[in-house]
Amino acid sequence: MSFSIYEVAVRITLEELELHRIVVSKTYASDALNYHGAEFRQVAPLNVDAVAELQGGEIRIRGHLETLLEASCDRCLGMVDLPVAWDFDLFYRPLSSIAREEEIKIPTDELDVGFYSGNGLELADVVTEQVILSVPMKVICRAECQGLCPVCGTNRNLEKCQCPSPQGASPFASLKKD
């Protein structure tokens, strides 16, 4: 029996980084990563290539990941494919470094700084966070999506309903009906 590449967790440790940088290529099956209830699904394997090295006391991880996500359109709730091709260049500081500072001030140009605890971090955690970041704030199936009718729920991309236009649809509209 050979190990499935899907099963092997990749831990990036200080001990190893002190000897050499870590170059890793890994594939995560569509159900291998836990996105903690995010409103999308990973529907294809995820491929990641990354290089980790120690730089000025921080762990720097650079790389590229690709996968396919599926999410529902914010307007019509239809399923939308979200191909992901995402570059990242991240710095992780030891969590213990926070305790030595009176307050945490992270300048806005250092938003890509994260923290690690113990002797390193899991590649899966890095990848999971980057996938979540790659998802747009608003998911729209297409720019001209008409969405659902706020009154009757009809998908207005598929059929027209007889409800008044949104401007006329006040919260009290139903009270005035005959």
What residues make contact with Zn ion under the rule CB under 5 A? 73, 75-76, 78, 141, 145, 149, 151-152, 154, 161, 163
Q: Which residues of 87-101 are buried (b: 16+ CB within 10 A; e: fewer)?
A: ebebbbbbeeeeeee
Burial of 53 (0-12, 13-18, 19+ CB in 10 A): middle
User: What totals of helices (H) and strands (E) does the chain contain, helices first?
Assistant: 4, 8
CB of 54 to Zn ion, least distance (A): 46
Q: Which is nearer to Zn ion, 50 or 76 (CB)?
A: 76
Instruction: Name the residue nearer to Zn ion (CB basis): 68 or 163.
Output: 163
The helix or strand, by DSSP H or E, that contains position 98, with its residue range, turns out to be helix 96-99
Q: Residue 176, SS3?
A: helix
CB 29 within 8 A of CB 5: no
- Report the nearest approach of Zn ion to the CB of residue 126 (Å): 32
The least CB distance from residue 164 to Zn ion, in Å, is 9
The nearest distance, CB 143 to Zn ion, in angstroms, is: 10
> What CA–CA distance (Å, rounded) separates 7 from 166?
51
Cβ proximity to Zn ion: between 78 and 114 the closer is: 78
CB of 149 to Zn ion, least distance (A): 3
Cβ neighbourhood burial of 69 (10 Å; 0-12, 13-18, 19+): buried
